[in-house]
Amino acid sequence: MSGVITIYTDGACSGNPGKGGWGAVILKEEKEIHLSGFEPLTTNNQMELTATIEALKSIEKTSNIHIYTDSQYVKNGINQWILNWKKNGWRTANKKSVANKELWIELDRCVEAHKIEWFWVKGHSGNHYNEIADKLAVDAIKNSK
C-alpha cells in the first residue's frame, strides 16, 4: 500500500425523497478527481451512501484511505451500527428492517478491500473539499433533465 488517498463525499436531495445527487472528491497521487451522479427519486441518506460507495469503487488497489463525510449517518453506520445489524439479521435494535440495507451491504463490501479511517466534517462550514463535494452533488441535480 502506498500513500494515503483522501476522499470527501456528499449527498444532496431536492425534496426528501426527491431528485438526488452525490459528489466525491478524491485526492490521490497529486491528482484531484471529481465524481458525481444523479438519481431521479431518492433520499439524502441514499445519496450520502452512494457518494461513498462510488468513490471507493473507483479505487482499484487495496489502499490506505481517509474518508471525510458530513454525514453522521454514514460514519456511525459503517463504524458502529453495522456490526449489530449484521448480527441481528439486518434488523435494528427496534427489530425493524435496516433502511437502505442494499446500500449498506454494498458499502460494507467496498470497505473490506481497504484500510479506512473515517472523519466527520461539519457541512457548509467552509471546508474546501467538502464544499466541492457538495457543489458536485447539487450540480448533478441541477444539470439533470
Instruction: Name the catalytic one among 3, 34, 102, 124.
Output: 124
Would you call 134 a catalytic residue per the annotation? yes
End-to-end CA distance of the chain: give it in Å, rounded.
41
User: With the C-alpha atoms ordered 76, 35, 135, 41, is the resulting torsion angle positive or negative?
Assistant: negative
Instruction: Name the catalytic one among 10, 39, 54, 106.
Output: 10
Burial of 95 (0-12, 13-18, 19+ CB in 10 A): exposed
Instruction: Name the catalytic one among 39, 54, 70, 106.
Output: 70
Cβ atoms of 20 and 38 within 8 Å: the answer is yes
Strands (E), 1-145: 5-15, 18-28, 31-42, 64-69, 115-120
Would you call 123 a catalytic residue per the annotation? no
Would you call 108 a catalytic residue per the annotation? no
Would you call 124 a catalytic residue per the annotation? yes
C-alpha cell at 133: 463535494
| Strand-pair partners of 27 | 6, 32
Instruction: Name the catalytic one among 48, 54, 77, 106.
Output: 48
| Catalytic residue IDs | 10-11, 48, 70, 124, 134
